[in-house]
């Protein structure tokens, strides 16, 4: 049951922010990295697939694995949780969505005001110049290369051993410090620096709402906890605003 106090806070909020993690994408059939039973890391060693050193050592293996992942992401569809957040964006006076996901499902659901902390698997960039590449040729059995400098191309995602983009972190921190309500959806709240964002929001006076079927590191500190899947809770939350 959704607390009346929370509904009133959302109706009166000048600025609503949301932080989403892998849980919301899992509802669209995309495996989470940290799920011990079904996660991608249970079948693949991240040191061989998602680090700069792995790419330097075997760029073809890394490129092919991310190509496979892009196919899986392209086949997935936004779920009711993604659409509810896009609807909340349309209704709110001001809104910002901060996501740890790289699948682009929020954009496909209609989300426009967002910060991608970990990049986007649908984008490709030059591994040397860090510039985005829209088109490339992929000779059979080879990794495509930058037409400008000849360096191999790589996915525009943040790997282990890499820092998050400074502009994305700054935008996320600014949003949580200015928001009146922060929705924390489908994240374990254990991976920093994203895990620190709810505390930043609370220190600035925001109401923090956790939406997750499981107890997390945030649960005890959250102002409101809504137990359940994002695809069920978020549409109900938006409907309650009417």
Summarize pLDDT for 128-161 with one digit per residue, the tens. 999 999 988 878 889 999 999 999 999 999 998 9
Residue 209's domain is classified under what CATH number?
A: 3.40.50.1220
User: Comparing C-alpha atoms, which of 70, 77, 46 is closest to residue 153?
Assistant: 70
What is the domain count for the chain? Answer: 2
- 216 near 187, Cβ under 8 Å? yes
What are the tens digits of pLDDT across the range 99-122? 999 999 999 999 999 999 999 999
* 63 and 128, same domain (yes or no): yes
The long-range contacts involving 89-94, CB below 8 angstroms and separated by at least 24 positions, are 89/113, 91/238, 91/241, 92/13, 92/15, 92/16, 93/13, 93/14, 93/15, 94/14, 94/15, 94/16
Helix (H) or strand (E) holding 62: helix 59-75
Residue 195's pLDDT band (cuts 50, 70, 90): very high
Query: What does pTM read for this prediction?
Result: 0.93
Q: Range of 4's domain?
A: 1-30+78-118+163-242
Q: Judge whether 118 counts as a catalytic residue.
A: yes
Strand intervals (E) in 81-206: 95-99, 114-116, 119-126, 132-133, 153-157, 181-185
* 134 and 182, same domain (yes or no): no
* 153 and 95, same domain (yes or no): no
What are the tens digits of pLDDT across the range 166-181? 999 999 999 999 999 9
Catalytic residue among 82, 106, 118, 200: 118
Helix (H) or strand (E) holding 207: strand 207-212
* 130 and 235, same domain (yes or no): no
Domain closes at, from 104, 138, 157: 157
Residue 143's domain is classified under what CATH number?
A: 3.30.1600.10
Q: In this predicted structure, what is the pLDDT of residue 37?
A: 43
Q: In this predicted structure, what is the pLDDT of residue 36?
A: 40
* 168 and 212, same domain (yes or no): yes
* 109 and 214, same domain (yes or no): yes
What are the tens digits of pLDDT across the range 32-86? 665 544 556 567 777 778 999 999 999 999 999 899 889 999 999 999 999 999 9
Span of 21-35, 53-67, 114-128, 186-200 with lowest mean pLDDT: 21-35
- CA 213 remoteness from chain centre: 18
Domain closes at, from 110, 138, 157: 157
């Amino acid at each position: 049951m959704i607390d009346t106090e929370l509904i009133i806070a959302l109706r009166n909020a000048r600025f609503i922010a949301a932080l989403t993690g892998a849980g919301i994408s899992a509802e669209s059939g995309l495996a989470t990295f940290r799920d011990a039973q079904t996660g991608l890391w249970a079948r693949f060693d991240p040191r061989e697939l998602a680090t700069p050193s792995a790419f330097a050592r075997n760029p073809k293996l890394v490129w092919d694995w991310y190509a496979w992942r892009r196919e899986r992401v392209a086949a997935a569809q936004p779920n009711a949780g993604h659409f509810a957040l896009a609807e909340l964006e349309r209704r709110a006076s001001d809104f910002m969505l901060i996501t740890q996901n790289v699948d682009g499902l929020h954009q496909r659901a209609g989300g426009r005001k967002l910060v991608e902390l970990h990049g986007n698997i649908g984008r490709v960039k030059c591994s040397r110049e860090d510039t985005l590449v829209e088109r490339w040729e992929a000779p059979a059995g080879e990794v495509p290369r930058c037409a400008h400098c000849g360096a191999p191309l790589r996915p525009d995602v943040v790997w282990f051993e890499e820092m998050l983009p400074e502009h994305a972190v700054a935008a996320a921190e600014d949003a949580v410090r200015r928001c009146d309500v922060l929705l924390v959806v489908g994240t374990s709240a254990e991976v920093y620096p994203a895990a620190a964002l709810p505390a930043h929001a609370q220190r600035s006076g925001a109401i923090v709402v956790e939406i997750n079927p499981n107890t997390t590191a945030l649960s005890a500190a959250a102002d409101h906890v809504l137990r359940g899947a994002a695809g069920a809770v978020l549409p109900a939350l938006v409907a309650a605003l009417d």
